[in-house]
Structure 1
């Protein structure tokens, strides 16, 4: 038996779009097989077919040479297929053990036998080098540790074939390295892995072979050791891609934006941002680096008006924004590319053209005497669609919900940049995007800097911060633990600061 899984000539359609067009993927036993593709290329759809979440229109799935029908995820689990989703499916207030046995609890008498489950989890955890405490509560452990709980969940159910969907999106560089080691250990112990990703560096680090999908079609499968990153990028996007961000020296001007002794509470009423001060100058990109959950979200929300300020002040061009309503902040010169594009960036059931004027719909030329001017709205949208290469089924009239993540993101960036703000607050601008879209978005952010705008870049991707930022501020536990010049630092130094060492006053 050469393959443990074969997905042969899979076709999956949604209204108006063929997500998977005759794709074949073959996984060998004890192999790490990468599935690479742009946003909206059909990677997650293909894995959802394998995991029983979607039924394909055509094609067959074979496991260990036998044809199978995977009509729902329970059947996938019985067949030994496990999946770590991009967004973890864990209950915060439960312990590790309670989360892992959920849905397959074994009882002794009338009570659930937690003790023997915890013992089994501890054994598995040791065997695979996961170092997870079975009695810890999910809310008390790091994101990287939560991911290991998801891995243990699969191992506990005796999964042989493990699917990882964009597993490194929320990890620090050190955690990514550990995850890569765990994946190699899993394979040594007899597992086979499919890794969905668009990060070429990771594919080079762990994968044996790589199947590339472009616009729903299978482009081919390559041996990773014999293929360069540039060649894989070209297969994925269909043209040459440049990895380094071209930029001249920053021409830094005066202070544009200032944060003074800012304290902001989170939803639970705890201080998420603690007495934080920071300033951004015209003509520079200030990167804010940190592990998820260290106050970045609350800081962004305080600047953009989505959260109340407990104490301290924020000043744009010397004027306090502290108690200014959101619409007024926009008109004073703040632009915001939000980290959650669905929640705060777009109205998903509006058309693309209406999303493009969300801040300006009440102004001329889009509105006259309170009546929307459809021609002007469409003209604006068509100009931005062309300029930012936003792809969609029906152009301006497309409902935003039906667009791929990358194109939704381009639409937000087009809208925000076209308002030419003094300060751009840019959060996770390329989260979940592929190299083609990333290259384009980076270029646009640099252009904003070169026009003399102030840019504040929040990103969990360290490469992105190091590539784009002129200065880097590291946030940990709601405080800035250090500010460095991007040219004089490296991934390791920033990674250590992100984990809380390197800065003073971080252990309260």
Structure 2
């Protein structure tokens, strides 16, 4: 299709509010998947020269609406206009020709190819005999890189790059195709604080050059810091259009949820007691070669939440799995109180006092084909009151499920429905509720609020603090630094499988935690 003629970027009004006509107007967009309504007459207007935040709870329809704009999905109803002209995208190819670009949360790059080869892929300059003009590709990437402050080495192999640089490559891909509207899905999910600041500088530069930037995110702090305007979706509908400078995080959250939400996020210290969890020299990995967890020692006290920060892939998952007994250790030891757990299975470690909330609620944390009641019985099923002799007491199982469902406000029509029918946030609350119900001395928690909405985050954070305050030891890994800052009484930072910093809460600033996450800090020991 032919791209409509682009309008020049309009002037900006007060508080960064773009004053020109909309570059993109989506009106009355509806999209259904069987009986599920993902978008219900949703509207969105994007202006030239603005950063626009699209927010909403899980299932609000954000991803569906952006998939429609990028040509991945065809709307059932509604209209899209680009620079005033109606368009119909049959595929992302049509959307790219109309000036759309999208950076997905899971990057779509070829690891074995260079940066330049990835950027120009399917938009190459051809030389003699129709072969790729590699020099032209390198020059094109260098020019774009310098123009927009996206520092990359055009000749580097993608497999050797950090996550932050990979994201820059994806943005360069879109800019090479002259994207006037750039959509970024959860753009800071795997970035260090320093990488996030660099990204924000780049996005502001794109806005100032007249491009339109859309960020799809659940991080309200970033929305307030970066965006010019905000569109809020709830239940597939557009419920609010806000000028960022004239609103607050609390107002945005109220539109998202339909109620007031506590967003203060301030750390409330616990009252630590005696050490409960002891890990000494834990090493995880193949018998030979580089370990994924390398000689890690740590302790967690009763009444304390110890956080683990780090960019994904630095050994956090493997560390928690090894402590829980789900992954064999090459060396080292784990104790709960005076009990040495070496050689214990995951089941025996649970009996010795370890509960575990894994990062993947569906694949590891639950049996999605089994009922909610049976999922909530896991770990309780070998003892009274759920077991009578050789059999489960189904009445006791149902009553046990009912108590946890009520206590953790799990939205479910019946305890007998499959766990896989629950929303992501409710399945997460199921796993959190089941593990906390064990009242174990040690709770291991990995990504407790990944992919859940604001209301569920508030609920889970309150539960974790209450668990700590009841005298338990909590070891918490999270990719969200703001979450760790709100919950952790002490902070460990992992890089390359090692603990490179052990920080008292007062010393855990965003700056020094970010440096440690990037491998640029020596270990500091908390007092």
Tell me the TM-score normalised to structure 2 length: 0.89
Shift of 1:454: 0.5
In structure 2, the gaps of 5 or more residues are 1-19
For the 8 Å contact 1:40–1:406, the answer to whether it is kept is no
**Secondary structure in 2 matching 1:439:** helix
For the 8 Å contact 2:285–2:291, the answer to whether it is kept is yes
Distance in 2 of aligned mates of 1:215 and 1:504: 46
Q: Could you say if the C-alpha distance between residues 376 and 90 of structure 1 is closer, same or farther in structure 2, counting changes exceeding 3 Å?
A: farther
For the 8 Å contact 1:95–1:134, the answer to whether it is kept is yes
Q: Could you say if the C-alpha distance between residues 275 and 268 of structure 1 is closer, same or farther in structure 2, counting changes exceeding 3 Å?
A: closer
Q: Could you say if the C-alpha distance between residues 266 and 17 of structure 1 is closer, same or farther in structure 2, counting changes exceeding 3 Å?
A: farther
Q: Partner residue of 2:441? A: 422
Q: Partner residue of 2:427? A: 408
For the 8 Å contact 1:266–1:298, the answer to whether it is kept is no
Shift of 1:7: 1.2
Q: Which of 31, 34, 37 is equivalent to 2:56?
A: 37
**Secondary structure in 2 matching 1:153:** helix
Q: Which of 477, 480, 483 is equivalent to 1:458?
A: 477
Distance in 1 of aligned mates of 2:92 and 2:365: 32
More moved, 250-259 vs 398-407: 398-407
- In the alignment of these two chains, the number of paired residues is 504
**Secondary structure in 2 matching 1:190:** coil
Q: Partner residue of 2:14? A: none
Question: What's the C-alpha RMSD, in Å, of the aligned pairs?
Answer: 2.4
Distance in 1 of aligned mates of 2:216 and 2:445: 26
Asked if 1:204 is matched to 2:224, the reply is: yes
Q: Partner residue of 1:311? A: 331
Post-superposition Cα deviations, 1:351-374, rounded to whole Å, max 9, x if no partner, equal 433332344445555455665554
Distance in 2 of aligned mates of 1:482 and 1:60: 53
More moved, 314-323 vs 32-41: 314-323
Q: Partner residue of 1:78? A: 97
Q: Could you say if the C-alpha distance between residues 18 and 111 of structure 1 is closer, same or farther in structure 2, counting changes exceeding 3 Å?
A: same
Asked if 1:356 is matched to 2:356, the reply is: no
**Secondary structure in 2 matching 1:501:** coil
**Secondary structure in 1 matching 2:476:** strand
Q: Could you say if the C-alpha distance between residues 459 and 248 of structure 1 is closer, same or farther in structure 2, counting changes exceeding 3 Å?
A: closer
Q: Which of 164, 170, 192 is equivalent to 1:150?
A: 170
Shift of 1:444: 0.4
Q: Partner residue of 1:140? A: 160
Post-superposition Cα deviations, 1:150-201, rounded to whole Å, max 9, x if no partner, equal 1112112222111111111111111111111111111122211111112111
Distance in 2 of aligned mates of 1:354 and 1:182: 49
Q: Partner residue of 1:220? A: 240
Shift of 1:479: 2.0
Pairing of 1:363-374 with structure 2 (within 5 A): 363-366=383-386, 373-374=393-394
For the 8 Å contact 1:180–1:205, the answer to whether it is kept is no
Distance in 1 of aligned mates of 2:427 and 2:287: 27
Shift of 1:111: 4.1
Asked if 1:236 is matched to 2:270, the reply is: no
Post-superposition Cα deviations, 1:394-413, rounded to whole Å, max 9, x if no partner, equal 44344444443322222211
More moved, 464-473 vs 405-414: 405-414
Q: Partner residue of 2:501? A: 482
Q: Partner residue of 1:437? A: 456
Distance in 2 of aligned mates of 1:268 and 1:385: 46
Q: Could you say if the C-alpha distance between residues 352 and 112 of structure 1 is closer, same or farther in structure 2, counting changes exceeding 3 Å?
A: farther
Post-superposition Cα deviations, 1:286-324, rounded to whole Å, max 9, x if no partner, equal 111222222212212211223221111112223233322
For the 8 Å contact 1:247–1:446, the answer to whether it is kept is no
**Secondary structure in 1 matching 2:377:** coil
Q: Partner residue of 1:381? A: 401
For the 8 Å contact 2:31–2:37, the answer to whether it is kept is yes
More moved, 82-91 vs 402-411: 402-411
Distance in 1 of aligned mates of 2:391 and 2:108: 45
Q: Partner residue of 2:270? A: 250
Distance in 2 of aligned mates of 1:57 and 1:375: 46
Q: Which of 168, 174, 177 is equivalent to 2:194?
A: 174
Shift of 1:72: 2.2
Pairing of 1:96-175 with structure 2 (within 5 A): 96-105=115-124, 107-108=126-127, 109=129, 111-175=131-195
